[in-house]
Amino acid sequence: MISSNSYNDTFKNLRINKDTRVICQGFTGKQGTFHSQQAIEYGTKLVGGVSPKKGGITHLGLPVFNTVAEAARELKPDASVIYVPPNFAATAIIDAIHAEIPLVVTITEGIPQQDMVKVVKVLKSQNKTRLIGPNCPGIIAPGGCKIGIMPGHIHKVGKVGIVSRSGTLTYEAVNQTTQVNLGQTLCVGIGGDPFNGTNFIDCLKVFLEDEDTKGIILIGEIGGSAEEEAAEFLKEHNLTRSQPKPVVSFIAGLTAPPGRRMGHAGAIIAGGKGTAGDKITALENAGVVVSRSPARLGITLREEMEKAGLA
Amino acid sequence: LSKGHQKRNLAIHEYLSMELLNQYGVNTPKGGVARTPQEAFEVAKKLGTEDAVIKAQVLAGGRGKGVFESGLKGGVRPIFSPTEAEKFAKQMLGHKLITKQTGSAGKICNSVYIVERKFVRREYYFAILQDRKTQGPVIVASSQGGVDIESVAAENPDAILTLGVDINVGLKKDDALSLAEKLGFSPKIRDEAADMMQKLYKLFIDKDCTQVEINPMAESVEHEVLCMDAKLNFDDNSEFRQKDIFALRDTSQEDPREVAAAKYNLNYIGLEGRIGLNGAGLAMSTMDIIKLHGGEPANFLDVGGGATAEQVTEAFKIISSDPQVTAILVNIFGGIMRCDIIAQGIIQATSQLSLTIPVIVRLQGTEVNAAKKLIAESGLRIISVDDLDEAASKSVQLSKIVDIAREANIRVSFELPI
């Protein structure tokens, strides 16, 4: 009998490092090829890929398989990165789950919501595979393993864990923490889709448990309640530590005008929550320092870490 | 300009939604669409009833209380004869309807829907959506339909019922019957209501809807169950497999700049209530930082990943076509997108358009040094700034200079120091 928390436990699979072996689904496509080259240049241990009907050839000097199942059997990868187009991506994710690949990172944007609802059901009924995304820039352990489309050169090995809903804002946070000489341990872009595999809390669990991570940056935005839930989690698990880890956050959309509403059901379900103001209050109550400017994340975290004697 | 992403989820006209409901065997009042006053007369005549309603087909809420440019008050009006239908159609068709949701620009009314007026004894609210929290389809329903449902939810949360549906199982008859009972449908029509709910769920799934909202689902005085109104939204991501639905898109209801931007694969974000849906993190945060420095962003245009110089030029054209704009701030963090490509586009645009307003560019990431070199060597009035804070602050300061000059009715031009 699988317990209902079993998918949650797979958050440990987020801990990638220089030894993480990665395969690429959609390997021979334009995106797959370009980003695989970039990954190899960065030093990621890419070991092969999947491209239906092209099994048996080599691509970028690596073996290509027809299916994820075959690739998994032969290569025993720790992770798979998916660059498959949106009309086939959900199937690709499910294939990877069936092959029990420990970490699946789906970069693809534009997967129909309904398809992802079905994927999430499969995901949550098992405890071997952790999904990040879809519609996300990926995950990177600087100096070790880059799985995704982020520009490697702005990263620096260091002490900060970064988790973000927004792709390009992640790069701002990375750039700033590199410039103030903090560097990063692990950066996760969880993506902007409403139905996805990993949320803030999953990443915060990793950051709190990881000894090398001394500070945390969380980037959220208006809509949904992920930030409020993260705040609750931090209250319970970070503030109660003998030495809470400094957390700095930015919530995009504070000054955005109210969104155009298409029908009321969504608003009813949200119960009036989800504004930037609500999120900021919730996070501040959990001891998080919320920067009002996206340009001051690095500096603010540096200050907090110096105060705590961690930088 | 910034790199980001935004979803709107397709909406279609009321008469098309009602037709779709009918295709799924869902009962609605009888009606027909008309695009000319003569057609309106004929549709009304064919309906053969003395009690009908004429509804402006405009994609915005608040039509009933809206006002037409022509002076006519009300986008939803009762009519009592084909002649009246024709008369009102004339005042509606080809005119803009301004409602609380359209903003002062209003939206053009190119068709009207003439529908028989049904007298109802009870009104219910019924909606289906894909819910983030439960990560699946959810039904939201209330026995207090027909009115401002959000006030109901706020004042009397017990009046709102929710039911999660397992997407692999669907809406079973028993669950639908139980919901109909809880809502207060009388035993005689409970079965009909439950059947209707199942059909609406099937439509929701078949057509990749993000939301199906029926307000009200009504019991008529003749004890029929009908959907009196329908708001359907469709997942933009499903366009590749819902070509028929997406062919129903009416671009006349969208901001023309959005339509122009979409042609070049760009996302235009107008400021009246568009931001706040998914994505566009960097766009929103750029707006946040401009406001922090005391400025007012007029609009935003998102350039997708892998933009070409041509796309950047088109983006500039669209943004600078807004006469309110007094400065342009470009904020790009290039990952896969190369900064030098963006720089080429900006240089092209600035010289092609002979822009007199200042252009402040903040580029970071891939090939940023090549980009800065190109900009410096272009000899154009493009100000390059590395720090986001500084870029925002400069944009605001320079835009104030332009504002002051315009107020004083003089032209100002910017020179870069050598």
Q: Give residues 229 to 248 of B whose Cβ lies within 8 Å of A.
A: 231, 233, 235, 237-238, 240-241
Q: Convert the pLDDT of each residue in A97-121 to its tens digit.
A: 999 999 999 999 999 999 999 999 9
Distance, in Å, from the CA atom of B197 to the CA atom of A302, rounded to the nearest integer, reads: 55
Q: Give residues 220 to 239 of A whose Cβ lies within 8 Å of B.
A: 221-225
> SS3 for B88-156, per residue?
HHHHHCCEEEECCCCCCCCEEECCEEEEECCCEEEEEEEEEEEECCCCEEEEEEECCCCCCHHHHHHHC
Q: Tell me the CA distances in angstroms from B103 to B68, B97, B252, B283, one per residue in order.
A: 13, 10, 15, 22
Largest CA distance in chain A: 57
Residue B386 in tokens: 């590395």
Q: Convert the pLDDT of each residue in B348-382 to its tens digit.
A: 888 888 777 888 888 888 788 898 899 888 888 78
Nearest CA of chain A to the CA of B84: how many Å? 30
Nearest CA of chain A to the CA of B269: how many Å? 11
Q: Which pLDDT score, from 0 to 100, does residue A100 have?
A: 98
Residue A256, pLDDT above cutoff 70: no
Q: Which pLDDT score, from 0 to 100, does residue A144 have?
A: 94
Q: Tell me the CA distances in angstroms from A230 to A7, A116, A237, B269, B401, one per residue in order.
A: 18, 22, 10, 29, 43
Q: What is the pTM of this model?
A: 0.89
A101 at B interface, C-beta within 8 A? no
Q: Tell me the CA distances in angstroms from B331 to A36, A58, B327, one per residue in order.
A: 27, 40, 13
Q: Which pLDDT score, from 0 to 100, does residue A270 have?
A: 67
Distance, in Å, from the CA atom of A201 to the CA atom of A231, rounded to the nearest integer, reads: 9
Binding-site residues of A for CoA: 28-31, 54, 107-109
Distance, in Å, from the CA atom of A236 to the CA atom of B64, rounded to the nearest integer, reads: 49
B151 at A interface, C-beta within 8 A? no
Nearest CA of chain A to the CA of B344: how many Å? 21
Residue A6 in tokens: 């079993």
Nearest CA of chain B to the CA of A44: how many Å? 17
Q: Convert the pLDDT of each residue in B254-294 to its tens digit.
A: 878 778 877 777 767 665 432 322 335 677 788 888 888 88
Length of chain A, in residues: 311
B300: closest chain A residue by CA: A256
Residues of A noted as catalytic? 264
B105 at A interface, C-beta within 8 A? no
Buried b (16+ CB within 10 A) or exposed e, A189-219: bbbbbbbbbbbbbbbbbbbbebeebbbbbbb
B278 at A interface, C-beta within 8 A? yes
Mutate to test the interface with A, among B2, B132, B389 (most CBs of A within 10 A): B132
Whose tokens are 């989820």? That residue is B9
Q: Which pLDDT score, from 0 to 100, does residue B294 have?
A: 82
Using the beta-carbon criterion (under 8 Å), do A117 and B135 form an inter-chain contact?
yes
CA B229 to mean position of chain CA atoms: 18
Whose tokens are 């017990």? That residue is B158
Whose tokens are 């797959």? That residue is A32
Q: Which pLDDT score, from 0 to 100, does residue B313 have?
A: 81
B213 at A interface, C-beta within 8 A? yes
Q: Are A286 and A218 in contact (CB under 8 A)?
A: no
The H or E element that residue B289 is part of is helix B281-292
Distance, in Å, from the CA atom of B64 to the CA atom of A174, rounded to the nearest integer, reads: 50
Long-range contacts of B371-380 (CB under 8 A, 24+ apart): B371/B338, B371/B339, B371/B340, B371/B342, B371/B343, B372/B343, B374/B340, B374/B343, B374/B344, B374/B347, B375/B343, B375/B346, B375/B347, B378/B347, B378/B350, B378/B351, B380/B347, B380/B350, B380/B351
Using the beta-carbon criterion (under 8 Å), do B389 and A295 form an inter-chain contact?
yes
Distance, in Å, from the CA atom of B200 to the CA atom of B206, rounded to the nearest integer, reads: 10
What confidence tier does A142 reach under pLDDT thresholds 50, 70, 90?
very high
Using the beta-carbon criterion (under 8 Å), do B285 and A256 form an inter-chain contact?
no
Q: Convert the pLDDT of each residue in A71-96 to its tens digit.
A: 999 999 999 999 999 999 999 999 99
Q: Are A136 and A180 in contact (CB under 8 A)?
A: no
Which residues, including other chains, have CB under 8 Å from residue B304's CB and lie 6 or more apart?
B3, B5, B265, B266, B267
User: Which pLDDT tens digits describe chain B residue by residue (418 residues)?
Assistant: 322 334 568 999 999 999 999 999 999 999 999 999 999 999 999 999 989 999 999 998 889 999 999 899 999 999 999 999 999 999 999 999 999 888 888 999 999 999 999 999 999 999 999 998 889 999 999 999 987 888 888 888 899 999 999 999 999 999 999 999 999 999 999 999 999 999 999 999 999 999 999 999 999 999 999 999 999 999 999 999 999 999 999 989 987 877 887 777 776 766 543 232 233 567 778 888 888 888 877 777 766 656 677 887 888 888 777 777 888 888 887 766 778 888 888 888 888 887 778 888 888 887 888 988 998 888 887 888 888 888 888 888 888 888 888 889 888 877 766 5
Q: Are A37 and A31 in contact (CB under 8 A)?
A: no
